[in-house]
Structure formats: structure tokens, C-alpha cells
Structure 1
Amino acid sequence: MIESNATIVADAVPGNWVDRHAPVWARPYLRLARLDRPIGTWLLFWPCVWGAALAAITLGFPWPNPWHIALCAIGALVMRGAGCTYNDIVDRDIDARVARTASRPLPSGQVTLKGAAAFLAAQLLVGLLVLLQFDTYTIMVGMASLVPVATYPFMKRITWWPQVMLGICFSWGALVGWSGTMGSMDAPAIALYLGALLWTIGYDTIYALQDIEDDALVGVRSTARLFGTRVKAWVGVFYAATILVLGSALIMSAAGLTAFVGLLAFAAHLSYQVAEVQPDDPALALRLFKSNRNAGLIFALGLIADAYVMTLI
């Protein structure tokens, strides 16, 4: 049975699996972790796959380590949930003043602050257990991500570029995916990370178009507000830079033609987003933002296919 509108989160997809099938007692916590909207997990997961697949290409492996991919999937799920929980704890007063977020579990009273903190600790513990399955160097790389994650929620209060900090956080998986295979940090991984960071700035600028009016009222800053009517051009700049930097990562890894075909298809998808985005259409902005799940998949498939094809040559 679906709950009443008083307990359903406004910015979740109507009739999502949490609202329809999850136990009633668990729903507020699943919403706190954003399990009713998995797009963030996908966007955290794809850079991990990119890093693991690029490392496989570099070493001549036919595919990325399946065990590492599974660990990254679990890690992306729980750490995205932990990040959202922490973000909601920090932003609970702001969220209560924004129409799109006022119905979230904390500002609406579905979850207490003490309950949210306990849930955050549980998710971080699972994330730590996942990370401990890797080598010592990769564990250190993963642990270092906690610093930008902890500072991200405060960036919208002090800078017009909080999307940069989100990019720093959401792209970290590229470093973990690479180091999990290589046991080191090398130039191709850095380039891959920077490309993912630029991609994140672009898609999160599109996402932030939904909240321009409310953000202005409560004093929250974003690149969407900063760019204004020039948002299409600026997103185009960041997406173009994404392709150039990712291309350099492929070159440094001696990737084959299949990887570049995947990059070209990825570029085509990003170009479509730039062509379609409109600063005054929040519903369209959300659809374009969510389409980055497919964009990340396209590039991932190109890398994985290239790793296999290169072993046949």
C-alpha cells in the first residue's frame, strides 16, 4: 500500500519501489539514503568501473576484476546513502525552507536527528568493510575521500562552485577503481579522475536548475545560479573539456579504437544534453540529469569492450 502524500517525498518518482514495497518502518531510512532514486548511486559507480576498466586495458587484462566491480557496486550504494544522510543532517534547516526538499525525512519529521546519525554510522561501517577488501594503498585512497565528502554540504554556503566539490567526491571512484588493480596512482588515473570531475560539474549544474528560485530565496549558491541564461554554453564547455581530458587518459593508457568509439558515443550523449537543456524548464533538467546514468554506461561499455578486444589483437 502506498502511503499518503503527507509522508511521500515530493522529489521522488511517484510510485517508486520504496513507497510501494518496502516495510513501512524502513521507508524513512531508505528515503534518507535516496534508495527511492538510484541515479546518484549510478553516477558514483560509473567512475569506479571506468578506473577498473582502464587499468585492465593498461595491463592487458581481458576485463576488469569482477570482484572489484562487485565491491565498487556495494560501496557506491552504501556510500551514496551515507553521503545523502550526512548532507541531509547538515542541510536539514535549509531543506525545510525549499519546496522540493521540505518533505524529506529529516525536515518532515519522519526521522529524528539521533536516528539519522545512527543510520549514518551503520552505512559508514558497511562502507569501511567493503574498503577493507582492497589492498592497503587503495584503502588509503578510499579513506582520503572522507575529507571532501565531509566538507561538501557547506560549500553551497560559501562558494558559487559547490558543483566542483561534488565532482571531487563523486569522481573518487575512478581513483579507487584504478588503484584496486594497479596498486598505485598513475597519470592515466589522474586524467580519468579530472574528466569525471568535469562531467560531474556539467550534470550537477543541470540538476541545480530545478532549485534556482528557492536557492535564491534561502541564499544557497550554485553554478546554475551563477551561469544564469548562459547555462547552456557553460555546460557545453565543461562537457567538451570532459571529452578532451578523458581522451588524454585513453591515449596515456594506449587504449584501442573501441575505447575511442565509446568515448565518441559518450560525447554524442553529452552533446544531446547541451542541445536540449533550458534554464527555465526544471522538469527537463531533471530528465537530462538522470540520463547521465546511460551516458556513464556508454563509456564504461566502451572501455570494457576495448579491454577484451585488445587481448584478441
Structure 2
Amino acid sequence: MNQLNLFVELTRLKKPIGYMLLFWPCAWGLTIAYDFSSDFKIYFFYLLLFFLGSVLMRSAGCIVNDILDRKYDKKVFRTKDRPIASGKISIKLALLYSGILCSLAFLVLINFNFFTIAIALASMPLAFTYPLMKRFTYWPQLFLGITFNYGLLLGWTSINEEISLIPIIFYLGAIFWTLGYDTIYGFQDIEDDEIIGVKSTSIKFKQNPKIFLSICYFIFTLLFVVTGIKLNFNYYFFLGTMAVLFHLLVIQIMSFNKEDKEKCLKIFKSNNFLGLLILICILIGRLN
């Protein structure tokens, strides 16, 4: 039982925000591509597959992250007790767990068409090298955005078997969404990160974080609206977009306080609700 608890702690399974932020872009991409005049069974089946894939890959990613960051994690108050950093789980066992999770994720992936399988496999280097980026650049959140929102493209190709301009526009917007929320998240560890030499957008823009967040969320909202225009969504979609904008401006930017770590975490977690809100906007926008 103790080993099971360590596995759950290692993979952050009790912290669903991680895999939900991976899942929502998949759901968005699938929803903008799906033909709802046909059978709904495929839609819900693919949603389930994307959810399972998100949980499995997020869990595997957490393990790889903790292996690569184990020396840094020991020096950060929030992460010093993680199973690998604290020595409770060996690197060899952690690699075994990661391999099993990736194998299960592949079994999920092969339910999709060949093009989706191919581009999903092509993204694997991004997924597992992201933790290294904070050693070399102040923009690791950008690499996280590229990786975490890749599922939006997969959602689209699972239906269309090709890439077009529309999902690319939405994908680029979603990258800025991640840039924003992960910058907020990074303020929890900023003091420790500066001491040990880890880089982040939180550190880079610590003097004027709200300006940076405003730019990120403006670009995301703009490209989200452009996506709706390109897809000829109805006016209910644009009304819903106002709710998305309200959340970004009021719930996130206006209430953000870089000195309040608990508030930073709360704002970060609120993006799970935002992901659902965006999905609802898309669904409403597709109504005839």
C-alpha cells in the first residue's frame, strides 16, 4: 500500500489539474472538427481516449520531470519531499513506471488514424525535454505551451486526418494561455528558483507580471475569436467569449498577487474551469 501511495504521489494522480490542462485542448480540437450531424458515439469515445491519454502521459511526464529535476527539487521547499528527490523511489523503478505508462498511452493512441498516431509520436521529444528548458532559457513556459496544447492538433486530425489553418490559429492562441497560467504558477517558487539558478517567465517578468499576463491572455482571446469567425460560429459563441474574457481579466489578472503563493495556486487551478467554459462556448457556437 505504501508503494501505491508513493506511485500516486509520484504521478500527481491526486492533483487532476495537471492532466485536465492537457485534456482540455484535446477536447477543443475534437469539438471544432467533429460533425455532430453524425453518430455521437465516436465523439464521446474519442473524448474518453483523449482523457485516458492525458492522464497516462501527464503521469509519465511527471516521472521524467522528477528524475531530471531531482537535484533541483531537493533545494525547493515545495518539492523537496517528492518521492525521487527524497529517495523514497529509485530512478530505476521510476523509469519502469514511466515505461509502463507510455506503453499504456500507446495502446490508447493506436485507436486513432495513422496521421494522428504519427504526429503524436513526433511530439514525444518535446514532452520529455521540457523540464530541461528552465536550465537554459527564461521561456520554459513557452515550451510547456507548445507541448501541453499539442492535443488540440491531435483532436482535429483525429477527425480530419490533415492539418489546416484553423486548428493552427487556435493552437497558437492556446500556447499563450499556457504562457499566462504557468507564469502565475511559477511565482510559488520564484525565490528558490532564483537562488538555484532556474529560469522562468515568472522571473523574467517579475517587475510587471500583470502586463505580461494581459498580453498573453489578449492574444489567446483574440485567436480564440478568430477561430470562431473562421468556423462561422453563431453569436452565442461570441457572448460566451465575454465570459472567458471576464474570467481571464477578473478572476486571474486583477486578483493576481505575486506575493500571495496560495492565491497564485488558486488562480492556476481555476484554469480547469476555464477549459470547460471554453469547451461549452465551442459547443454552443456550433448550434444551428
Which TM-score bucket, shorter chain as reference?
over 0.9
Find 1:268's aligned residue among 236, 246, 251: 246
2:27–2:279 CA contact under 8 A, matched in 1: yes
In 1, the alpha carbon distance for the partners of 2:234 and 2:164 equals 19
- 1:278 corresponding residue in structure 2: 257
In 1, the alpha carbon distance for the partners of 2:130 and 2:4 equals 27
Instruction: Note the alpha carbon deviations across 1:241-269, whole angstroms, 9 max, x for none.
Output: 10001111111122222322332211111
Pair 1:176-2:177 in alignment: no
Letter in 2 for 1:289: F
- 2:121 corresponding residue in structure 1: 143
Letter in 1 for 2:272: R
In 1, the alpha carbon distance for the partners of 2:164 and 2:240 equals 22
Pair 1:32-2:10 in alignment: yes
In 2, the alpha carbon distance for the partners of 1:72 and 1:30 equals 20
Instruction: Note the alpha carbon deviations across 1:131-185, whole angstroms, 9 max, x for none.
Output: 1000000101211211211220110000001000000010011001111111111
In 1, the alpha carbon distance for the partners of 2:268 and 2:92 equals 32
In 2, the alpha carbon distance for the partners of 1:60 and 1:192 equals 23
Pair 1:195-2:173 in alignment: yes
In 1, the alpha carbon distance for the partners of 2:56 and 2:207 equals 36
Pair 1:222-2:200 in alignment: yes
Change beyond 3 A, Cα 1:61–1:205: farther
Secondary structure of the equivalent of 2:2?
Answer: coil
Q: Which residues of 2 match residues 95-174 of structure 1 at below 5 A?
A: 95-174=73-152
Tell me how far 1:207 sits from its aligned partner: 0.1
Letter in 1 for 2:191: E
In 1, the alpha carbon distance for the partners of 2:103 and 2:279 equals 28
In 2, the alpha carbon distance for the partners of 1:93 and 1:209 equals 20
In 1, the alpha carbon distance for the partners of 2:206 and 2:180 equals 14
In 1, the alpha carbon distance for the partners of 2:217 and 2:158 equals 27
**Which runs of structure 1 show a deviation greater than 3 angstroms over 4 or more consecutive aligned residues?**
59-64
Tell me how far 1:51 sits from its aligned partner: 0.4
Secondary structure of the equivalent of 1:250?
Answer: helix
In 1, the alpha carbon distance for the partners of 2:39 and 2:133 equals 41
1:138–1:183 CA contact under 8 A, matched in 2: yes
- 1:287 corresponding residue in structure 2: 266
- 2:182 corresponding residue in structure 1: 204
In 2, the alpha carbon distance for the partners of 1:267 and 1:76 equals 26
In 2, the alpha carbon distance for the partners of 1:61 and 1:214 equals 53
* TM-score, normalising length: structure 1: 0.88
- 1:237 corresponding residue in structure 2: 215
In 2, the alpha carbon distance for the partners of 1:217 and 1:306 equals 47
In 1, the alpha carbon distance for the partners of 2:76 and 2:255 equals 26
In 2, the alpha carbon distance for the partners of 1:168 and 1:138 equals 17
Letter in 2 for 1:158: F
In 1, the alpha carbon distance for the partners of 2:37 and 2:285 equals 10
* TM-score, normalising length: structure 2: 0.96
1:157–1:221 CA contact under 8 A, matched in 2: yes
In 2, the alpha carbon distance for the partners of 1:262 and 1:126 equals 37
- 2:65 corresponding residue in structure 1: 87
In 2, the alpha carbon distance for the partners of 1:247 and 1:61 equals 26
Structure 2 unpaired stretches of 5+: none
Q: Which residues of 2 match residues 23-62 of structure 1 at below 5 A?
A: 23-56=1-34
% identical equivalent positions: 37
Instruction: Note the alpha carbon deviations across 1:20-39, whole angstroms, 9 max, x for none.
Output: xxx33201111111112110
1:265–1:299 CA contact under 8 A, matched in 2: no
